Structure 1
């Protein structure tokens, strides 16, 4: 599709329903918005619900700046029952008697997972091993060794759901790439048993929360400038704006962006002109240029 003026574009904050893959949501949005140029940031499991960010039109070029944003989730950890997928959709593989484990023990085990940790991706995931996605191998009954990857658990709160149910509500704030299913299974394993996660819901990606999310059949498009609201913006005057649109490398002091970047550059009307990122020492370069 051409990127001509007037094309449908922007960021949609979607509240994904259970039973939909992230690809299903993109396919539906293409029909609703009448364009094929749509991508998403932050895959959600089919059984999971909550925030999924869709880039539409030229906003697809901005998705990579949204991927690193902190994610927030809620879920329920069911102790005592292991499954093939680490969630309620899988087949039961083991049963453990964990009736004697109480809230204090669960909270203590969970506290050990706060901070920088190493996490093994589940077999049912989109991670590639040997050029093939793990979920494709899992469907064929093949399990392969996966390397642990560094993730960050910024905050983790667990609380019992009812008395003596063995079910705990989890509230998690974490880095991109964290698997909540694996986190739940690892906590259960640390308690000497096993478990799985159910009712997984993503509450936020950065500042984009479920409170502003819409169903995929009635998406609301935010302007591209708002799509990068979690990054410190620079408002360019007329002269700087011309240089930015031309894609010029600039001195860092000329741009005047705060922090380590990336920096969305807006015109006086709040329209996105470009996104700049660090280049060599003292210099910044455009990662994306958008003509308003």
Structure 2
């Protein structure tokens, strides 16, 4: 059975589900899922889990993400991107890079966002984008997200508008189109997302991603260089090396003590870590739980 992660370079025009379906046919494996939706218009890193590694997808999605985005200042649409209906086109005069960056700093740190109607989140058993296609708009609760970095790289005039390219590093659940729209509203001109490239998702990087065509060529040639081990999806978690005598206990889901480990990093109660063999094979994802006056490592999910 094929098990592991694939760092896929999703092209524009395909949904994340399209990518999964393509790989299911290619690898002849039904247990395949992705670690974080990318909109059809967007391109870039899409982590995909295969086989038993699908059990680890929830941990992948907890990792941070990085994007390169292009916005059009002075244009507003109902979807906050170029695929929507134009609501207003006030245009935008020339702005200095310093002005744009100063406004971007207002949107760093922990902020509130209202998910757009084209989001994939659920509302009363249906996805928001399904309701949007029917012309419905419902009230959505705001959510808290963290913007670690919002760096304006360059800006240039484009007719009555102003185009801006930026790099953004953020927490899971962040809507880049909404970040741009809110930033544009703050500047007083509105903004629409023109292009989006995800450059990192957790430990998966753009420069190491494989196109679907490259993966197909590998499979046809009997190669599997594109398939990464399950631990590759958990590089944001610290590693605890388990002694040989405790490996069976972990495999059975039992909690182990620090004495059962060779290497233990500094950890906070409630935090997660990877339990690995001395050879670096992933055994489980564990949670640090109190045990009397000390603590132990209780498997949260065992990779069997």
Deviation, 1:257, is 4.8
1:235 aligns with 2:235: no
Q: Paired residue for 1:277?
A: 287
Return 237-246 or 163-172, whichever deviates more: 163-172
Residue 91 of structure 2: SS of its match in structure 1? coil
Q: Paired residue for 2:227?
A: 221
Q: Paired residue for 2:166?
A: 170
* In structure 2, C-alpha distance between the alignment counterparts of 1:36 and 1:138, rounded to whole Å: 30
Contact 2:113–2:142, Cα closer than 8 Å, also in 1:
yes
1:109 aligns with 2:103: yes
* In structure 1, C-alpha distance between the alignment counterparts of 2:258 and 2:52, rounded to whole Å: 26
Q: Paired residue for 2:68?
A: 74
Deviation, 1:279, is 3.4
| 2:124 pairs with one of 130, 139, 142 | 130
Deviation, 1:148, is 1.0
Q: Deviations over 1:74-116 (max 9, x none)?
A: 0111011111211112121211132154333222211100101
1:41 aligns with 2:47: no
Deviation, 1:280, is 4.1
Residue 167 of structure 2: SS of its match in structure 1? strand
The TM-score normalised by the length of structure 2 is: 0.89
Return 250-259 or 277-286, whichever deviates more: 250-259
Contact 1:8–1:57, Cα closer than 8 Å, also in 2:
yes
Residue 140 of structure 2: SS of its match in structure 1? coil
Contact 1:29–1:217, Cα closer than 8 Å, also in 2:
no
Which consecutive unaligned segments of at least 5 residues does structure 2 have? 216-225
* In structure 2, C-alpha distance between the alignment counterparts of 1:201 and 1:74, rounded to whole Å: 5
* In structure 2, C-alpha distance between the alignment counterparts of 1:227 and 1:31, rounded to whole Å: 22
Q: Paired residue for 1:192?
A: 188
Q: Paired residue for 2:299?
A: 286
Superposed CA RMSD: 1.7
Q: Deviations over 1:224-253 (max 9, x none)?
A: 123322211122221011211121122356
Deviation, 1:195, is 1.4
Residue 21 of structure 2: SS of its match in structure 1? helix
Residue 156 of structure 2: SS of its match in structure 1? coil
* In structure 1, C-alpha distance between the alignment counterparts of 2:183 and 2:20, rounded to whole Å: 33
Deviation, 1:216, is 2.5
Return 257-266 or 41-50, whichever deviates more: 257-266
| 1:207 pairs with one of 194, 203, 206 | 203
1:160 aligns with 2:154: yes
Q: Paired residue for 1:3?
A: none
Q: Paired residue for 1:4?
A: none
* In structure 2, C-alpha distance between the alignment counterparts of 1:69 and 1:227, rounded to whole Å: 9
Which consecutive unaligned segments of at least 5 residues does structure 1 have? 1-6
* In structure 2, C-alpha distance between the alignment counterparts of 1:167 and 1:216, rounded to whole Å: 31
Deviation, 1:136, is 0.7
1:99 aligns with 2:109: no
